[in-house]
Structure 1
Amino acid sequence: MKAMTYRGPYTVRVEEKPDPTIEHPGDAIVRVDLAAICGSDLHLFHGMMPDTRVGHTFGHEFIGTIEEVGSNVEHLQVGDRVMVPFNISCGSCYFCARGLLSNCHNVNANATAVGGIYGYSHTAGGYDGGQAELVRVPFADVGPSVIPEGVSDENALLLTDALSTGYFGAQLADIVEGDTAVVFGAGPVGLAAARSCWLMGAGRVIVVDHLEHRLEMARTFGYAETIDFGQVDDIVRHLKRATDGLGADVAIDAVGAEADGHVLQHVTASKLKLQGGSPVALDWAIDAVRKGGTVSVMGAYGPIFSAVKLGDAVNKGLTIRTNQAPVKRQWPRLWEHIRAGIIDPSAMITHRIPLDDIAEGYHMSSSKLDGNVKTVVEVSGR
């Protein structure tokens, strides 16, 4: 099969790899129709995540068609068109039984903190991802769902991570009706979080970023006020002034570790060259939220080299809620929102490329060229 492979920092290419096979009776093989490049894939692309091995195939957002099933698979058949959550979950461990599908205890022998994730290095289990023609899907009766009527392929694709994660971030924020929410990051997850804040009852939503084309989408897709942090002296002070001196009720970190080490504005108003992994957005969230407020964190973090302002969070009496999104748990309600026309996640898609052009796709996504927000990878030619 053709598959994107990692060759080292900033280098990926399409190569021929052996077709995946059924390794366990609960497995399925999915022929990929559509995949996507996620902002967190860029952490891998830039060499920031530990144990990202040469030859690994990225991609945790994908939909496709069931090509083969193991002998124990009961709920899927060859030919079913499915959407696959980025979490790999066994469905029966202590954590899965409590709905914590992203914290499954049985799918990653290499770490105790993270469960299994498709295409996200050997720290997340070493599972090859969906930027390929075929993918092995473990625990096929637990993860994938048949794409329901009324949900387009592109919307199903964005439900496998971006929309579900943004929605989950708004859930974690525990929004009370009328709250002011500030979202740091206007990538697809931040955009989805901003739109979802309204669904949770927010009275005001503010999105912070520094790229105008993403801020424009925050206004049109997220219906949010926007702030370009590069155009203000101090983003925290600016947000405090915009919220009667108190701060926002909730802050959502949809950035995570800075994926590229760009120059960002620090809360001291000085300009610093940040090392990859620095939690500037999280520190901004802690500083910008009011005392007694809530900080929601679902951005991707790897090694953290700069200290988080935990003392400030304690002194302000903040609630900090975190996790990787348990994707499948969000689907029933989001399916209904999509069918009802309340939200159309495909509006975030700006680019479509064939699998053969994925190296250029990574370059475009990494450098935010040509107004890039979300890139879909067309694999099967459907």
Structure 2
Amino acid sequence: MKALAWHGKGDIRCEEVPDPKIEHPRDAVIKVTACAICGSDLHIYGGIIPEMKRGDVLGHETMGEVVEVGAENKKLKVGDRVVVPFTIACGECFFCQNGFFSGCERTNPGHKKASKLWGNYPAGLFGYSHLTGGYAGGQAEYLRVPYADVGPIKVPDGLSDDQVLFLSDIFPTGFMAADFCQLRGGETVAIWGAGPVGQFAIRSALMLGAERVISIETVAERKALAKQSGAAVVIDFLEEDVYDRIMELTNGRGADACIDAVGTEAEPAASLDSRWDRVKTATFMGTDRPHVLRQAIHCCRNFGTVSIVGVYGGFLDKIPMGSAINRGLTFRMAQTPVQAYLPRLMKLIEEGKIDPSFVITHEAPLEAGPELYKTFRNKEDGCIKVVLKPGMTETRKVKKEIAYA
């Protein structure tokens, strides 16, 4: 089959790889009908995620049609349309039983290496390094799904692939970001990053009761879409001082909650500390560039919440813990336990309360994936979200009615 495989920093190839097979009685194999390039895939593309091996198949946002089912899998049958969560969970261990599916104790064969880096280990993840299991990802024509009687959710009739694909990751992740803010109604929420996850965080915060959302972004297309998503104010961090502006908007109090939807690769031009982070990571003196997290802490009101869904991989430098401790901040963060959110979010889609396809700007065949990784990485051609469809014959730019400021 064809798949997108990693061969080093900036080197993604569409190539022939072995077809997946049933390896355990609870497995399923799906024929991929749609998959996507995620912002966190760009960390792999940029060479900053450790324990990648040449030839690893990428991708963790995937859906398709079941074509084979293991003997012990009683949940699925051949022909079912399913969305596959990026987190792989057994459904039986302590963490799964408590709804913390992304902490599953049984699904990460790379747990020893992960524990050395992180002190303990997360669940296995599709297409995301051997620290999280080394599982083949779903940017491919077919995907083996372990524990397929726990993870995949069946797609109701009448919903398109584009409407439900992002239940695999970015919609639950953006929703979780807002859910972590413990909104009761009437709050001001500041969200750093208006990429796909940031867009879902904006809409989710408003659905959960926030009165006002402030989006922090500099890319024109993302700023415009943030406004359409409902952001009352969009701050361009290259044109305004973010801290000063948020303090002005909140009468000196700070935002009730701050969401970091950027993570480890903050824009180096954003500030002096961000440029210094870039120097440190380039010279192997640091592992991440946490400028956004520092700023979110400073911009959060006393006893507010900092919600972190942007990916970080290692040890963060110069985090203002003195500010957080002295002002009583709460931190919430996780790899998303997708399975815990799926029924609720599928219902929102079915009821027409959100159509997740609003973020799609490019649809293309799998073969176009390597070039679109570059387009997405460089924020070119108005690219916000890429969906790949095996069997599609040509790249199509999705027309968006976006009113640019």
Which category of TM-score, normalised to the shorter sequence, fits these structures?
over 0.9
Q: Say yes or no: does 1:152 pair with 2:160.
A: yes
Which residue of structure 2 aligns with residue 106 of structure 1?
106
Letter in 2 for 1:237: D
Which residue of structure 1 aligns with residue 25 of structure 2?
25
* 1:24-103 alignment runs, 5 A limit: 24-103=24-103
Distance 1:267 1:312 in 2: 19
Which residue of structure 1 aligns with residue 269 of structure 2?
264
Letter in 1 for 2:78: V
TM-superposed CA distance for 1:302, in Å, is 0.9
Letter in 2 for 1:136: R
* 1:1-382 alignment runs, 5 A limit: 1-110=1-110, 111=114, 112-232=120-240, 234-258=241-265, 262-266=267-271, 272=276, 274=278, 275=281, 277-381=288-392
**Structure 1 residue matching 2:7: 3-state secondary structure:** strand
Contact preservation (8 Å) 1:108, 1:124 = yes
TM-superposed CA distance for 1:306, in Å, is 2.3
TM-superposed CA distance for 1:223, in Å, is 4.0
TM-superposed CA distance for 1:224, in Å, is 3.7
Letter in 1 for 2:324: A
**Structure 2 residue matching 1:201: 3-state secondary structure:** coil
Contact preservation (8 Å) 1:267, 1:284 = no
Unaligned runs of 5+ in 1: none
Contact preservation (8 Å) 2:31, 2:143 = yes
Distance 1:201 1:264 in 2: 33
**Structure 2 residue matching 1:249: 3-state secondary structure:** strand
Contact preservation (8 Å) 2:83, 2:152 = yes
1:223/1:338 Cα in 2 relative to 1: closer, same or farther (>3 Å)?
farther
Contact preservation (8 Å) 1:278, 1:304 = no
TM-superposed CA distance for 1:124, in Å, is 0.9
1:278/1:65 Cα in 2 relative to 1: closer, same or farther (>3 Å)?
same
TM-superposed CA distance for 1:267, in Å, is 7.4
Farther-moved stretch of structure 1 (343-352 vs 322-331): 322-331
**Structure 2 residue matching 1:95: 3-state secondary structure:** helix
Q: Deviations over 1:50-93 (max 9, x none)?
A: 10111001100010111111111101011111110111000000
Contact preservation (8 Å) 1:66, 1:80 = yes
Distance 1:333 1:172 in 2: 16
Identity of matched residues, %: 44
1:244/1:267 Cα in 2 relative to 1: closer, same or farther (>3 Å)?
farther
- How many residue pairs get aligned? The number is 378
Farther-moved stretch of structure 1 (24-33 vs 305-314): 305-314
In the TM superposition, structure 1's runs of 4+ consecutive aligned residues that sit over 4 Å from their partners are: 270-273
Q: Deviations over 1:82-116 (max 9, x none)?
A: 11011100000000000001110101132333211
Distance 1:308 1:189 in 2: 23
Letter in 1 for 2:222: R
1:28/1:64 Cα in 2 relative to 1: closer, same or farther (>3 Å)?
same
Unaligned runs of 5+ in 2: 115-119, 282-286, 394-405
Distance 2:384 2:222 in 1: 7
TM-superposed CA distance for 1:156, in Å, is 1.2
Distance 2:367 2:42 in 1: 18
Distance 2:256 2:316 in 1: 28
1:381/1:370 Cα in 2 relative to 1: closer, same or farther (>3 Å)?
closer
Contact preservation (8 Å) 1:212, 1:228 = no
- TM-score of the aligned structures, taking structure 2 as reference length: 0.90
Distance 1:380 1:82 in 2: 18
1:267/1:287 Cα in 2 relative to 1: closer, same or farther (>3 Å)?
farther
Letter in 2 for 1:7: H
TM-superposed CA distance for 1:214, in Å, is 0.3
Q: Deviations over 1:26-54 (max 9, x none)?
A: 11111111000000000011110110111
TM-superposed CA distance for 1:374, in Å, is 0.4
1:273/1:90 Cα in 2 relative to 1: closer, same or farther (>3 Å)?
closer
